[in-house]
Chain A
């Protein structure tokens, strides 16, 4: 008997078929990975199991019994817990309050009693948390442990984890995997959603691969390899874009950053004395775990955040404190961290192309609609964007949105490209395209500053890699002389 059996699950969102007759079986006490690219339908399938979405067709059996769930409440009652990518914790509450929230017997809340309950639970499950700590003081890894504990406290026998490693440093990943392994031995069944092959191979007993909403197959971990999984996932071998090792890197600096400091939205120091140099024809990668100042570095260099100290020099021109218009004029191509804030979704593709350099598209004080349209046609063709000039950007896929930004930025042949998380959330095809374009900029002689939380990406594209930790650059390496492990350790703050 299966812990969970999903038969012929079909889920449509308008014309999009997110799950197309998917079968999925979870055995008691196994870690079962659900592997697939972004948009393959993994999360949709699990949201159905957790009662967040409702099936259009198909059937769900839990412990052999057909069930009909209308909300997560039903799912929890049947022993299913889910830890989603974005934590659902109340920041100002304590760990204990978060764990018992909605699951507190009786009308009164006794802080000491619930802390005791949560302490016992944490010891019982071997999840090290401090019940009295406030959630807003916790690290990402600790928050995740609280989420797991919350699910187990509600007597979950099936735990769904949606890309749990995306936010963790390598060392925290190890701890998570140890925990899952132990819980599995105690009888917990785990569904592990991921698109990272190595993790899937490490942790899973079985792996189900989804592609374009369809199930491609289920394989045993012992009988498969990363190569086979990659083929199943994308229908071909994985990413083929790497920098050309041989290309010589000039030593003419384009960007010089001297002792740059900045504070974040909450007024906390986010950048401390950052010094960087990017040369012509070079990709400098910034590696780091989310929240160590990379985001602020990107925002300062794109004119969205004022620095508190230090100098930014482009060529021989000081550009500290420039606003976005001045930065673009100075020759910086800016790719924002969040695509959605680089485009106005409700405006058309053509208008989004024009807006950044609107002065070029004005005739007699009016918008030159013809020229805007022609430029859009040209860029759409040149960058292979699947859209019409009049389409709202909001209706485009993530990959096409990113291409709109790339087209806007690169068509001006910038001297420096600042690319923050340029491939985050994109599928393989779009990721390859973006990486290829960035390397073409490098070949053209532009300086490229690549800020990415995807370590593989930084390694694949960069000539030099700088690691950020707590707002500082803790080391700069030539990509040839470093290893993944070394970078991982530095990213986690090891000396």
Chain B
């Protein structure tokens, strides 16, 4: 029989945790690869090395990583303050709606201004959508995990209504909004690639959140609230206001993810702009240990897995869903590894 005993792990083990988690995940998911009649080593070559082996697909990894960086860092700032925002998906769509709404109206503005207006609009829309559950939380103590999650479903229906109602393309009849003005399109960063200005926005947001959390009084108050609300309150922190702030910043950043996808990739709203980036953000924030640098690396890694899943699928015929399985397994394994930071397994005879 085995038991867990509370003993802090040595420092060298802590640094090894991400590596161990990744190795374990691949060993576990190899079973599924074998079940799909493929060679696991080959599969993981296509998974991890394949996307990085040429310039185009390496840049595509960063394209995939852009919304993940934004939702990951959005979730991070909320979680750091102890506000469990599960609603980044809905907030992303709120930002996307705002972008799709103002984007076509910006033809008369110079590009710099148009882009700033669109980004601000998306940020505000994400904040607004996050405000409802946040107020319910701080005023009425309604559990935000439930409300933010349910708000995602509401948002899906709003998007569906807009696309099938007022915004339906009058000519083709497709459920897609009018295209945004070319002045509002986010500039490309590299010729011949889809990598766009949204990636820079994402990196800036990582920096901003890092700065807020580690260098400002607001950040210290957020961390105190997230780690021990009662003690923070005792030391004079207005924990309700801090959580409200965190929720709004989080929603705003998630909204930027929506703007980035509309302005940099799709140029109009369709109902499938996010294959669950908001939910992946939760995984990324957790994998990154709620530290902005870690979150950045985790987002890029998940982006790699998403791209890799497609190349495995093309090369070996393994279903593309393997990518989701790897993500899920990685989360579970990492959570297990975090437990081992503070416990060790002992054998009881």
A314–B4 Cα distance when bound, in Å, is 51
User: Are A70 and B348 in contact, CB atoms less than 8 angstroms apart?
Assistant: yes
B7–A346 CB distance below 8 A: no
Query: Is the CB–CB distance between A342 and B349 below 8 Å?
Result: no
**Cα distance, A340 to B1, chains bound together (Å):** 34
Contact A356 B236 (CB under 8 A): yes
Q: Which residues of A contact B232 (CB under 8 A)?
A: 344, 355
A residues with a Cβ closer than 8 A to B are: 13-14, 54, 68, 70, 302, 304, 323-325, 328, 334, 336, 340-347, 351-352, 354-356, 358-359, 361-362, 365-367, 369
A-B contact pairs, 28 of them (CB 8 A): A13-B6, A14-B7, A54-B346, A68-B349, A70-B1, A323-B238, A324-B233, A328-B236, A341-B228, A341-B230, A341-B231, A342-B231, A343-B231, A344-B231, A345-B227, A351-B220, A352-B235, A355-B236, A355-B237, A358-B217, A358-B220, A359-B217, A361-B217, A365-B216, A365-B217, A366-B215, A367-B215, A367-B220
Complex CA–CA separation, A11 to B161 (angstroms): 65
Taking a contact as CB atoms under 8 Å apart, the answer to whether A344 and B224 are in contact is: yes
Nearest 4 CB-CB pairings of A with B: A325-B236, A324-B236, A346-B227, A356-B235
Residue B8 interfacial (CB < 8 Å): yes
- The CA of A328 and the CA of B8, in the complex, are separated in Å by 36
State whether A346 touches B346 (Cβ < 8 A): no
Known: A54-B348, A304-B233, A324-B234. A344 touches B217 (CB 8 A): no
Residues of B199-254 contacting chain A, CB below 8 A? 215-217, 219-221, 223-224, 227-228, 230-238
Task: Output the least CB separation between A331 and chain B (Å).
Answer: 14
Decide if A324 touches B231 in the complex (CB within 8 Å): no
Interface size on B, residues (CB 8 A): 28
Q: Smallest CB–CB gap between A354 and chain B, Å?
A: 7
Q: In whole Å, how far is A14's beta carbon from the nearest beta carbon of chain B?
A: 5
Chain A residues near B220 (CB-CB < 8 A): 347, 351, 354-355, 358, 367
B195 CB to closest chain A CB (Å) equals 33
* Residues in chain B near residue A14, CB distance under 8 A: 7-8
Q: How far is the CA of A302 from the CA of B232 in the complex (A)?
A: 13
A327 to chain B, nearest CB (A): 8
Residues on B with C-beta less than 8 A from A356 are 235-236
Expressed in whole angstroms, the minimum distance between the Cβ of A129 and any Cβ of chain B is 34
- Spell out B's residues near A (CB within 8 Å): 1, 3, 5-8, 215-217, 219-221, 223-224, 227-228, 230-238, 346, 348-349
Among A302, A328, A334, A341, residue most surrounded by chain B Cβ atoms (within 10 Å): A341
Closest chain-B Cβ to A99's Cβ sits at a distance in Å of: 28
Q: A344-B223, A367-B220 are in contact. List 4 more A-B contacts (CB 8 A).
A: A54-B3, A344-B231, A345-B231, A366-B217
Measured between beta carbons, the chain B residues less than 8 angstroms from A304 are: 233-234
- In the assembled complex, the CB of A301 is this many whole angstroms from the nearest CB of chain B, namely 12
User: Contacts of B224 on A, CB cut-off 8 Å?
Assistant: 344, 347, 351, 355
Q: What residue of chain B has the Cβ atom nearest to residue A356's Cβ?
A: B235
Give B224's nearest chain A residue, CB to CB.
A344
A334, B234: Cα distance in complex, Å: 9
Closest residue of B by beta carbon distance from A304:
B234
Complex: A302 Cα to B233 Cα, angstroms: 11
- Which residue of chain B has its CB nearest to the CB of A358? B217
A271 to chain B, nearest CB (A): 19
When distances are taken between beta carbons in the complex, the residues of chain B under 8 Å from A328 are 236
Name the residue on B nearest A342 (C-beta). B234
Q: Chain B residue with minimal CB distance to A334?
A: B234
- B227–A347 CB distance below 8 A: yes
Which residue of the partner chain, among B216, B234, B238, contacts A367 with CB atoms under 8 Å?
A: B216
Question: What separation, in Å, do the CA atoms of A164 and B223 have in the docked complex?
Answer: 39
A354 vs B348: C-alpha distance when bound (angstroms): 45
Q: Is B221 a contact partner of A358 (Cβ separation < 8 A)? A: yes
The CA of A356 and the CA of B346, in the complex, are separated in Å by 41
Residues of chain A contacted by B346 (CB below 8 angstroms): 54
**A115 CA / B3 CA spacing, docked (Å):** 36
Taking each of B216, B231, B232, which has the highest tally of chain A beta carbons within 10 Å of its own beta carbon?
B231
Most B CB atoms within 10 A — which of A70, A324, A328, A361?
A: A324
* Bound complex: CA A281 to CA B236 (Å): 27
B226 → A minimal CB distance (Å):
9
Chain A minimum-CB-distance residue to B1: A70
CB distance from A105 to the nearest CB of B (A): 26
Q: Is the CB of A324 within 8 A of B235?
A: yes
How long is the Cα–Cα vector from A366 to B223 in the complex, in angstroms? 15
A366 cross-chain contacts in B, Cβ below 8 A: 215-217
B2 CB to closest chain A CB (Å) equals 11
Chain B neighbourhood of A323, CB < 8 A: 236, 238
Task: Report how far A366 CA is from B1 CA in the complex, Å.
Answer: 52
Do the beta carbons of B227 and A344 come within 8 Å of each other?
Answer: yes
